[in-house]
Chain A
Amino acid sequence: MTSLCPAHVTADQVREFDWQRDPLRDGGDPMDWYTNEFLGKPTFWSPVYGGYWVVTEPAQIREVISKPELFSSRNVGLGYAGFPVKLIPLQNDPPDHTKYRRLLAPYFSPRAADELEPAIRAKAIELVEAIRDKGECEFIDAVCGQLPQHVFVKDILHLPAEEIPTFLQWEHDMMHHPRDAQDAQRAGAEVIRYLQKTVEERSKNPIEGDMLSELFQAEVDGRRMPLEDLLGVVLLLFLAGLDTVTTAMAWSFRYLAEHPGHRKQILENPELIPSAVEELLRYHAFANEVRTVVDDFDFHGTKMAAGDRVLAIPSLVGRGDETLDNPKDVDFLRQPAPHPAFGLGPHRCLGSHLARKEMQILMEEFHRRIPDYELTGEPLTYHAGGNIGIDALKLRWTPTTSKEASA
């Protein structure tokens, strides 16, 4: 394999690593795998997928993610086919990025997330009420794979709730590459067709205050956005905003299921929930980021060449933050940590405020009704790559009488 490496890569920098498969090989927690394998090790070059750098040092990971002038976002895939349209503005670098980002910002500001709170809370309560007397559930199917999806389809895109199962199927098919590459391609094409139809319909019958209706009217560089660009924006919202929140919720509830002491803290003191959400995000920063080197340069002693792909692993920043006491521990009482779970720099997750709001509300409403729960003990399986996640999370509890629990 070494002979296939480009000339600027030295033999001692090469380590074969497949980001989609290797973290899963030992069957354990892939997030822990990253911490154990990479934290404290030097940057290396993996020859897999045409070759890419893996940056492992926390301060350097921060730079890769936050400096678009050095590390471009034009290609964010690694080892799988891209989508039929460019994802906007994820795959734009500044200054282009800034124009689109400005258009989208008002719909995802902290205030916009606050305004969605009643809708989020009502849905969260409905989902938890539906399972509270059952004594067990597969948490992703029943709860956290539903909540962000409902909010997105119904309250952000203003589509009928009947469409949600179709969206869930598309999301499933698109997010489970490379296992079902053909399904992913087909689902991608179907989503785009559906969104195109929706956008055309909204252009004829705009809805007051509706993001899609307004984006259709919006101008970039003095011109209406071409339909293809608008589809790229909406497809990105779909890809970035659904599975990620589900994944974050699954990691958080898995941790709480396994750590009754931490759960007790938030049961006794629900005001701790925003800090708990933050700390669990820091600890499970599962969204890996891929960049492309802009120009030949020396990155802290590593010779990088224009066009080199770079993988940055935010969980290593969260767990390797030396300014924190015991960064490998979860502590809901620690000082708020400046973690990069939502990325850094101009590409900072647009939906971060909505995601936090959804996580906080679910944590409140779930624990109000189901305070004491555990994993059923079936071995967990995971997926890795762009997002590191849990495939299924089976929880069980002793049902309490409804009135008592919600009092």
Chain B
Amino acid sequence: MRVTADSAKCMGHARCFAVASTVYQLDDDGYCAVDMTVPQELEVDAERGAAACPEGAITVDNGS
């Protein structure tokens, strides 16, 4: 699984971080620019964090 935050869409709600800080890190101002392959044990967290984004800025790619 790969998660990608669109930095143009990220408005700094920081909900991804609040829900799944293991996957989503923020910059100093609280914006997320994640683009990473998610270890299997964190896939549930990654999905929850992406679903919590009010801007729909995070894409989850299951590679299928």
Contacts and interface: CB of A to CB of B under 8 A. Distances in A.
Contact of B54 (A102, A109, A274, A340): A340
Q: Which residue among B12, B17, B18, B51 has the maximum number of chain A CB atoms within 10 Å of its CB?
A: B12
B14 interface: yes
B41 interface: no
Contacts of A353: 14, 30
B51 A345 contact: no
For chain A, give the interface size range. Answer: 20 to 34
Given A110-B14, A353-B14, A338 B53 contact: yes
**The 3 A-B residue pairs with the shortest CB-CB distance in the complex, in nearest-first order:** A336-B52, A105-B29, A109-B30
Nearest to A109: B30
A340 B52 CA distance: 11
Contact of B13 (A111, A335, A348): A348
Nearest to A108: B30
A66 interface: yes
A336 B51 contact: yes
Nearest to B52: A336
B13 to A, nearest CB: 6
B11 to A, nearest CB: 4
A109 B28 contact: yes
A325 B26 CA distance: 30
Interface in A337-351: 337-340, 342, 344-346, 348
B18 to A, nearest CB: 7
Contacts, number: 54
Interface residues of B, number: 19
A335 B49 CA distance: 10
B15 A336 contact: yes
A106 interface: yes
Contacts of A342: 13, 54
Given A338-B54, A340-B54, A345-B55, A105 B12 contact: yes
B48 A110 contact: no
Given A106-B28, A110-B17, A344 B51 contact: no
7 contacts: A274-B18, A335-B48, A336-B51, A338-B54, A340-B54, A342-B54, A353-B14
A348 B48 contact: no
Q: Which residue among A66, A102, A110, A339 has the maximum number of chain B CB atoms within 10 Å of its CB?
A: A110
Interface in B15-61: 15, 17-19, 26, 28-30, 48, 51-56
Given A111-B28, A335-B48, A335-B51, A346 B11 contact: yes
